[in-house]
Structure 1
Amino acid sequence: MAIKYKLIEKGEPGVVGGGTKKWYANIVTDGEETIDDLVKAIEKFSALSEADIRGVIIALENVMQDALANGKIVRLDKIGSLYPSLSSEGTATPEEFNAQKHVRNIKVNYRPGKRLSDSMKAAVLQRVK
């Protein structure tokens, strides 16, 4: 299997008319893996039943939500880490800052573990039209 990509032409951001345009690689996804697909795949390598695996995945999601909402990093060993992050507007003084007014975005970031990162570095690329 390979990671498929196609080339797309993009202009320079912020330049009227796009400025100098260049070609960039863009991933072409090849379907998706749902929880059902993952459960069936895990079931082949495990003594757990489909219901047990599904229950563990749902429970993991629930405890991860709580941990992230409480500002904790969730480390999933070789899978990687998820951590909360935010972006905000700046203020001239700390006293002026109001979280509801100045925080623009709160999200979850993901940092893959070494094995997942290494698998992407070793991936075969295939250009498609």
Structure 2
Amino acid sequence: MKVNGKWYPKSVLVVSPATTEQVAKRIAAESTVSPADVQAVLIALGGVMGDFMAQGRSVKLDGIGSFYFTAVTTKNGVDKPEDVNATLIRGIRVRFLPETRYRGAGKGRVSTRGLSDVDIEWEEWKGEDKKSLTPAPSPNGEGSEENPGPQAG
């Protein structure tokens, strides 16, 4: 990935995201709760978290981290503090801060972010970049001047 004229490594997702159903089955396999019950809880979690965050609270989930809302504001801001008001807010974002974990003791104590202290094996990507889902226009097929395709009207 090129940023400001320099090249940097970039992580690549090589498989589709894990689904709620897959996560529920995995949690159920590691507990005494059924996959259906876990899935129901996971589905309800988003709404419950949103309600707490709408009250101005963060949501801390042990072993995962904290979620909270931040305001998306106009790009330029204002010059004086008395000009700051709610009309400058354009939307909200959900922010996530992974839980901090500590290993070791004394001077050797190290803090790491939860969810990111797992063993990851990095390797060079040898695959192709993701292809566009939009097909390229055919020179003489549908969408060309000779064959414009279905017309509204």
Please classify the TM superposition score into its range, dividing by the shorter chain length: 0.7 to 0.9
Tell me which of the two structures has the higher relative contact order, counting C-alpha pairs closer than 8 angstroms and 6 or more residues apart.
Answer: 1
Q: Could you say if the C-alpha distance between residues 93 and 11 of structure 1 is closer, same or farther in structure 2, counting changes exceeding 3 Å?
A: closer
Q: 1:97 aligns with which of 84, 90, 115?
A: 84
- Return the index of the structure with the highest Cα Rg: 2
Query: TM-score under structure 1 normalisation?
Result: 0.74
Alpha-carbon shift at residue 44 of structure 1 (Å): 0.9
Q: 1:43 aligns with which of 24, 28, 31?
A: 28
In the alignment, the residues of structure 2 paired with residue 112 and residue 11 of structure 1 have an alpha-carbon distance, to the nearest angstrom, of 26
In the alignment, the residues of structure 2 paired with residue 56 and residue 11 of structure 1 have an alpha-carbon distance, to the nearest angstrom, of 41
Runs of 4+ in 1 over 2 A off after TM superposition: 87-98
RMSD: 1.8
Equivalences for 1:1-129 in 2 at 5 Å? Answer: 8=1, 10-12=2-4, 21-31=5-15, 32-89=17-74, 90-100=77-87, 102-113=88-99, 114=101, 115-119=114-118, 122-129=119-126
What one-letter code is carried by the residue in structure 2 that aligns with 1:96?
D
Gaps of 5+ in 2: 102-113, 127-153
In the alignment, the residues of structure 1 paired with residue 121 and residue 3 of structure 2 have an alpha-carbon distance, to the nearest angstrom, of 28
Gaps of 5+ in 1: 1-7, 13-20
Alpha-carbon shift at residue 71 of structure 1 (Å): 1.4
Could you tell me the percent identity over the aligned residues?
A: 37
Q: Deviations over 1:28-61 (max 9, x none)?
A: 1022101011011112112111221111112222
Q: Which has the higher helix share?
A: 1
Q: Which has the higher strand share?
A: 1
